[in-house]
A and B are shown apart, each in its own frame.
Chain A
Amino acid sequence: MYRVAVDVGGTFTDIVLQNEKTGEIYGTKTPSTTNDQSIGLMSGIKKVCEERNVSLEEIRSIIHGTTVATNAVLEEKGAKVGLITTEGFEQILHVARSWTPAPISAWMGFHKPEPLADLIFTRGAKERITAQGDVHAELDESDVREKITELYETGVESLTISLLNSYANPSHERKIQDIALSINPAIPVTISYDILPEFREYERTLTTVMNSYVRPPMQRYLTNIESKLKNEKVKSRVSIVRSDGGLMSIAAASSRPVHTMLSGPSGGVTASAMIGVQAGYQNVISFDMGGTSTDVSLTHAGNPKVSRETKIGVFPVKAPSLEVESIGAGGGSIAHVPLTGALRVGPQSAGSTPGPACYGRGGTEPTVTDANVVLGYLPPSLVGGEMRLDVEASIAAVNTIAEKLGVDVYTAAKGIYEIVNENMYGAIRVVSVEKGYDPREFSLLALGGAGPLHANALGKLSSSFPVIIPPMPGVLSALGFLQSVIRNEFSKTFINLLSALDEKTVIDELKELGDNCKEWLTEEGVPEQQRTIKHEVDVRYYRQGHEIPIEVWLEEIQEKGLVSIKERFDSIHEKTYGFKMDSEVEIVNIRAVALGEVKALKLPTNEVGSEDASDAIVDINHKAYFEKEFLNTPIYARELLKPNNKIYGPAIIIQKDSTTLVMPGNVGVVDQYMNLLIKEGE
């Protein structure tokens, strides 16, 4: 039997097929179908089956990362959302957190996007729950019925119910949900308690509204997939990849699509963790450099970090996601020189049209890609010969910058290259140093088409070695999906001082959430022996603003008492911020995480060759610009490399989906999984 992973990207849909018995994998691509991604998905699955001579019946499961939800938000193509809040708080999304950007006076140029639920479609329910979860004012049911009816008459397609303090008592939200469904069962209703039963009303409401916003397009899409599979008589189980790298069923994804906002990028992170672990490196910082942006993430001890909040466009969404720091620096970022005479790179990007000057599609502005071409890092003829780069156009573009700076074109190009590296290094610091991790204890893994060109230089900046270039850096996400586990979380806000609690209460509360996990795993059809349930508490010093999630074990609490929680929190706080306090500790949220293991992916190993890589050289006379001069920089073909081969920098390794630069003085070694491990010196 086989498993198939499908990653739908902007241009191509990547498909990876895995033989469950041998672990062998095979990848292919098909053009994405932007209007209905399910067409590309289906033709991709058929294509991979044909190419490997596998019948559709042999596919046991399909694992799918989708950008439908994210695109709906970024392209403003979601549903018309109605919002029911507590009366008096109708402007919750309008006022938001009152935030304007720094520095002083920057509000003058601040463009604030419209909320995803317009004030016109927002109504206040007459009701009130207190912070303690008591009913302060009963719900006026006939009033809210009237208001919802009115909203539905204006054409609202999806409804959010988010009441004040509902995290402490969802009864009114549930009642209103029943009322709404009785008025029109066809309109999907999302209540905030089901999406994010945690305190802070703006973030909870926004996240729930976003769920409502993307729900109809997601439901349409998932229905399309199901009907296409049915037509082809495919009986495979379909799983959708969540933002935190876990998997969920189609039913779960249709009711909680907000959990798929970072479905695509999570695959790259999961894959990086897996490749790192297999290559023998448990700590990996991965960076995915694309055309307009770079995503950086961190894996510690083999586990990618899960964060509780992420940003979609400008909206802070509170849904568990693999922690990704995204910055506006990519191959298409444009270099410019403002009045101050500084060299700036980005955030403006040439995108894919017109694209960098070297693409010959009418772009004239100097981009990072052009700088790479000028420096000789990106050879003019890419392998596969799909596109020839216009070196003259790059030189002309970069020259505009060089003139303004009063330097030669190579110095300017090197400047662009180094500044974009410095920007990405900033993002590496955010995920590492700012979170208490030393990047020197991590290796750096490059993905995306442009990543391997900058990886070695970036590794030098952060002293993260070896720098790992996986065999297929361009199609890593789909590979990561195969490694995903079935995952969900059940949490609640539980604000209590540790000193006011006893072990039994905490254990009982955690157990209850754990029971929810069990139920869910059963629904998802995960056999007993493949289940794991983890417990977490978000803790902070009393009234501190920021809580830190820490994992706890029920047995440990039973044995050592609640003090074990404080001890662990103190030590994490000290590690992260340099001090701990002699203060009371309080729990803010508690959570149980359900994990269902799927069969682990084993990458095939390859036959070991010699250290001599000269057979893989395709151009021995190529030259590239480094410190103030051109150096002989041979070009190698990735497909000709064998395990154990050593490549001494400076060198360039080309392959279909990417180009790798090995810096002078560094050396790349091919491992048995065909990763290229770049190390310092020799």
Chain B
Amino acid sequence: MARIDSITVDIIENALKNIKEEMDVTLFRSAMSPVIREQHDCFPMITDAEGKMVVGNFGSHIPEVIKQFPEGMHDGDVIFVSDPYSCGGSVSHVNDWMIILPIFHKEKLVGYSSMFGHVIDVGGPVPSSMPVTATSIFGEGIRFPPVKLYDKGVLNEAIIKIIKANTRTPLENYSDLMALVASCRTAEKRVKELCERFGTDFYFEALDALLNRTEKMMRHLITNFLPTEPVSFEDYIDDDGLGNGPFKMKLTMWREGEHAYFDWTGTDKQSPGPINYYLSEPMFKMFIGSFLISVFDPAINFNDGFYDLLHIETPEGTLMRPKSPAALGCRTHALSRLFDVLSGVLAINSPESSPAAGYGTSPYFIFSGQDEEGRSFNLMEVMYGGLPGRPIGDGLDGHSWWPAFVNIPTEYLETYYPLMVNYYKTGTDSGGAGKHRGGNCNEKLYTILASGQVSIHDDREKIQPWGINGGEAGSSSSKLLIKKDGTQIRLSSKVDNVDVEKGDQILFITGGSGGWGNPIERNPNLVKLDVARGLVSKEKALNSYGVLLGEDLEVEIEETESIRAKMREKVGELQSFNFGDRDQTLVKL
């Protein structure tokens, strides 16, 4: 067998990284759903011949899917899957469509490329196919177990016909599906070129070496940074939209030697509604890895190499491992909250080096109907909120915690959908006060210009995003329907098919985020700047930060110092975590 040198490994790693980028570019440019191409809700991956991820963003599921094809894989096969229950949760709701493509070089299997993206509608009772009221996966639209979309290069037209008959957006879905295939084909072509250039033996050895590298790194991180004593952290999902909840998510973590254990025992039972999150173990391991590794070698490619060092326990029948056929459509809240919980549990022994909690979900605004010319429309917009105060500085106002997502331009919305945006800004005072301020939420007011239905997916309406290291908790989310006659109706954070008429308005307010560090340690000039920019009110500057600003917003230095001295006395020792009014809220619920 060839012996590869470490530099060739680096070269192959760079090449794989470039391939991943090319996959993204191919998809963004040719897909049609705004959530994929404007908002980048998609995930590329390349694996070795056994299906271990060598580069990608989400952790491999290939072996589990492949074994469902007893006839094996052939050159020209393309697998399509959208059923979370038949791929170990690699896609976590039926809107995520995944393509897997075996790559053959000189008739030998050398790996797989895979890509999934969120398609806008897969049928079912509500547009965009994430019904808040679903009580099983059968109510969430069409579901594809692993099937061969192409069999030895031949397209299975039946699948296309079935897709088109089962969605409100046949053209978009077809285009997205073909774009996913095109993206995987890009990777196929490039991987074959790599095999040609280096020889398959060298290529395989390089992949092994890459897997070993992350393992080595993770071994180091685990033994140096994780505690041997178990520590636990809890956070909550407000409700499931059907009146149940709140739902506790509890994670316990400890280390034994070079191995780390993450245990979800203590997490609440699965929900009757669709907020369950079928947590894919490889994906969770990847989340943990990215959380830990990116600090030390940001240029690294994530891969499966370290997965044997991490042990995950997820009790069946819980929110994080629901039994089939539990509904999964609105799993985005638990998926996002997972990061707050993970960050919390890793922060217990060192809160100063961890961020606070953020808006904690991916809020959706969904608006559908027929415009005045009788054409149907279906908008799904991902919203953002406050990013938490962090060790390096303030949280960002109205930004995305999920990487590389972007907002939809108002001019795009107004061109293609019958609505007008009255304002789009961040909410003054919604970020928790802190030495490093928590980011503000988003506030967006829409005027509806054609009758239709609105659905809303959000969370953190009842339980606030927590602050850390002395920082305050951030604000909660809220939604308001303002009828054209002026009547105001409060909408809960999870509702389906609310009828709206021309002239009605929807006010969509997302969650803020927690602050980091004691607010009275914040530089008064920064507080002044926040007030001048309209991000913090004069009142909050005084009450939370102890900064008195004069008429012209100049800092009253002496008063500020004496106010802060009093606050310091009164507060005493600060808690590591500030959960806001969580305890009172939980009692009431």
Contacts and interface: CB of A to CB of B under 8 A. Distances in A.
Interface of A: 87-91, 94-95, 97-112, 118-120, 128, 130-131, 136, 164-165, 167, 199-202, 338-344, 405, 407, 411, 414-415, 418-419, 422-423, 425-426, 429-430, 433-434, 495, 541-546, 573, 576-579, 581, 583
Interface residues of B, number: 89
A105 B339 contact: yes
B496 interface: no
Contacts of B57: 102-104
A100 B396 contact: yes
B10 A545 contact: no
Nearest to A203: B409
Contact of B15 (A110, A422, A543): A422
B6 A107 contact: no
Contact of A200 (B22, B172, B411, B445): B411
A419 B13 CA distance: 10
B225 interface: no
B564 interface: no
Interface in B1-57: 5-7, 9-11, 13-15, 17-18, 21-22, 25-26, 28-32, 34, 37-38, 57
The 3 closest A-B pairs by CB, nearest first: A88-B423, A415-B7, A545-B37
Contacts of A419: 7, 10-11, 14
Given A338-B296, A423-B14, A98 B414 contact: no
B179 interface: yes
Given A98-B407, A107-B396, A405-B6, A199 B415 contact: yes
B242 interface: no
A418 B355 CA distance: 39
A175 B534 CA distance: 27
Given A200-B412, A541-B32, A543-B32, A91 B290 contact: no
A621 B437 CA distance: 65
Contacts of B405: 98-99
B399 A107 contact: yes
Given A97-B406, A407-B5, A91 B398 contact: yes
B175 A581 contact: yes
B138 interface: no
Contacts of B214: 340
Residue among B28, B390, B405, B414 having the largest count of chain A Cβ atoms under 10 Å: B414
Contacts of A542: 171
Contact of A201 (B217, B302, B409, B416): B409
Query: Interface on chain A toward B: helix, strand, loop, or mixed SS?
Result: loop
B563 to A, nearest CB: 24
Contact of A434 (B15, B25, B179, B384): B25
Given A94-B397, A119-B533, A583-B171, 14 more contacts: A91-B398, A98-B405, A103-B302, A111-B393, A165-B411, A342-B10, A342-B213, A411-B5, A414-B7, A419-B14, A434-B22, A543-B32, A545-B31, A579-B182
A341 B405 CA distance: 32
A108 B400 contact: no
A103 B291 CA distance: 9
B532 interface: yes
Contacts of B213: 340-342
Contact of B424 (A89, A104, A541): A89
B416 A339 contact: no
Contact of B384 (A98, A109, A581): A98
Contact of A339 (B25, B175, B220, B423): B220
B92 to A, nearest CB: 14
B362 to A, nearest CB: 12
Interface in B254-292: 287, 290-291
B387 interface: yes
A544 B411 contact: no
B466 interface: no
B403 to A, nearest CB: 4
Given A338-B297, A545-B34, A545-B38, A95 B425 contact: yes
B401 interface: yes
Contacts of A97: 406-407
B410 to A, nearest CB: 6
Contacts of A545: 28-29, 31-32, 34, 37-38
B571 interface: no
Contact of B400 (A98, A120, A136, A418): A98
